Structure 1
Amino acid sequence: MPIAARAKTVRNMLTALAAAAATAAALTACDAQSGPSLEPGADSRQVTVVGAGQVQGTPDTLTVNASMEFVGPDATAAMNQTNERQQAVIDGLVELGIDRKDIATTAADLQPQYNSDSTSITAYRATNSVNVTLRDLGRASDAIGLIVATGGNATRINSISYSIEDDSQLVRDARARAFEDAKDRAAQYAELSGLNLGKVISISESGGPTPPVPMQAPRAMEAAVPLEPGQQTVGFSVTVIWELT
């Protein structure tokens, strides 16, 4: 075969192969475009709402933080007096029926006290603090009265707070109310827009166990201390996204 004819045949073969490759690539691209898309369609409809739910419960636990504080001429004297008085308080609470596991030391502090121009130490201030958890609220008044009577002028009632020891059912109820509130809102929006409420797409919540409610400790406390637990609120907020159909 002449060289010119052979070259023409090779060129024709290469052209055919290139055309076949281009056709295969185009078919592949079409298949990819016809498959499911990861992006939401232009006609997708959603509604996002925030629902809230609250329930109330009666506190069943009282926590008292009490300190014994003495000022002495030296560190040893101040610390010894403080420790002895706090130990007497702890022993008295145990005799009253408070479990030792419900009495926890939270601070033991010793600080020098300076003269007016802060040039020399004149005394030492020692502080010993405990948290007392009272699970029988009927004993709360007697327990606080005992702390004050035993500690005398060294007593410092730093805080009193009520709490609910097991609020798991209250949390469940508050969560259910929050979801129902969100669903009612979403259903109303669907009705207003002439659509139907579809499946839930996502749920996120905020809220949780109820923190203890602090009470201001009175300046002067007698043996019988009036105490009322009142009510505590457990609240939840939930954000839900629904599909609209």
Structure 2
Amino acid sequence: MKTKRIVILFLSVVVVVLLSSCMATQGIVRTIEVSGSGEVALTADIASFSIQVSELGKTTSEAQGFANEKMAAILTVLRTNGVAEKDIATTALNLRPSYKWLDNQQYLEGQVASQNLSVTLRDLPRLGKVIDQLGEISGIYLNSVVLDKEDKSAALLESRQLALASALAKAEAYAKNSNMLVGSPITISESSVASNPYSPRAVKMLASEAYDMSTEIPAGSMTVRSTISMVVEMTRQN
């Protein structure tokens, strides 16, 4: 009788364990993590660059006069080529003494006045002409010209849609080979980057340099690329 009770108790425990195991299995959420990318080409329509003027004079006033004269010429070039006032900004303005070393001794050689401008040109076909005209002003620095697309929102939306479609296509392929179905996304993360087609280093422009022909700066093409990573629920086929 005692042995029979032990057997019944043992069988009860086994049944409980099996039921718990089945319930635990039913509660498992099967997922797969996939990624996809999408790329859209577009053409630049604006250019941004900076211009620096730095002049040495015997006095601060003299240095300022030299710098102001060149800055006035620069502003004339920009304004006559349709650059709006809101697209011309002073980013730095400095007055400082300049020293030199001679025979291991430091001496004052004069005063320096410098000014930096940040410029955005929205009429891109004028860029070569603007650079040519700036080249007629001696001793200025033209820093990194960057071509860009002012409004990339439509391209970003398209690249994200392509990236999402690519990720879902991968999930569908894995599900088909695993005899499963793709469920709802659990998490989605996305990153987007835009490449710039042209960005040279700083160039010092001298009026004494002769130009045989006008400057040409092809806009080329730039790309917007989006990458999406997602965790998708997988369900068994009935």
TM-score (norm 1): 0.75
Tell me what 1:84 maps to: 69
SS at match of 2:106: coil
Tell me what 1:230 maps to: 220
Answer yes or no: is 1:114 the counterpart of 2:104: no
Tell me what 2:124 maps to: 137
Structure 1 unaligned blocks of 5 or more: 1-33
CA contact (8 A) 1:109 1:126 kept: yes
Answer yes or no: is 1:244 the counterpart of 2:231: no
Tell me what 1:198 maps to: 183
Q: Structure 1 residues 197, 212: CA separation in 2 closer, same or farther (over 3 Å shift)?
A: same
* Deviations 1:61-94, CA, capped at 9 Å, x for gaps: 0112111221212222112211221022102321
SS at match of 1:229: coil
Q: Structure 1 residues 216, 230: CA separation in 2 closer, same or farther (over 3 Å shift)?
A: farther
Q: Structure 1 residues 228, 175: CA separation in 2 closer, same or farther (over 3 Å shift)?
A: same
Answer yes or no: is 1:146 the counterpart of 2:133: yes
- Return the alpha-carbon distance in structure 1 between the equivalents of residues 197 and 115 of structure 2: 23
Among candidates 15, 18, 29, match of residue 44 of structure 1: 29
SS at match of 1:230: coil
SS at match of 1:55: strand
Greater share of residues in strand: 2
Query: RMSD in angstroms over aligned alpha carbons?
Result: 2.6
Tell me what 1:4 maps to: none
Greater share of residues in helix: 1
SS at match of 2:225: strand
- Return the alpha-carbon distance in structure 2 between the equivalents of residues 133 and 86 of structure 1: 16
Among candidates 59, 65, 69, match of residue 50 of structure 2: 65
**Residue 210 of structure 1, CA deviation:** 5.4
CA contact (8 A) 1:64 1:131 kept: yes
- Return the alpha-carbon distance in structure 2 between the equivalents of residues 166 and 210 of structure 1: 14
Please tell me the residue identity of whatever aligns with 2:131: I
- Return the alpha-carbon distance in structure 1 between the equivalents of residues 34 and 170 of structure 2: 7
Q: Structure 1 residues 111, 224: CA separation in 2 closer, same or farther (over 3 Å shift)?
A: farther
- Return the alpha-carbon distance in structure 1 between the equivalents of residues 229 and 25 of structure 2: 20
- Return the alpha-carbon distance in structure 2 between the equivalents of residues 158 and 43 of structure 1: 59
- Return the alpha-carbon distance in structure 2 between the equivalents of residues 118 and 229 of structure 1: 51
* Deviations 1:175-200, CA, capped at 9 Å, x for gaps: 00110111111111112222111112
Q: Structure 1 residues 205, 41: CA separation in 2 closer, same or farther (over 3 Å shift)?
A: farther
CA contact (8 A) 1:66 1:159 kept: no
Q: Structure 1 residues 40, 63: CA separation in 2 closer, same or farther (over 3 Å shift)?
A: farther
Q: Structure 1 residues 71, 106: CA separation in 2 closer, same or farther (over 3 Å shift)?
A: same
CA contact (8 A) 2:140 2:204 kept: no
SS at match of 1:120: strand
CA contact (8 A) 2:46 2:147 kept: yes
CA contact (8 A) 1:160 1:215 kept: yes
CA contact (8 A) 2:92 2:115 kept: yes
Larger Rg: 1
SS at match of 2:135: helix
**Residue 127 of structure 1, CA deviation:** 1.8
CA contact (8 A) 1:93 1:146 kept: no
Structure 2 unaligned blocks of 5 or more: 1-19
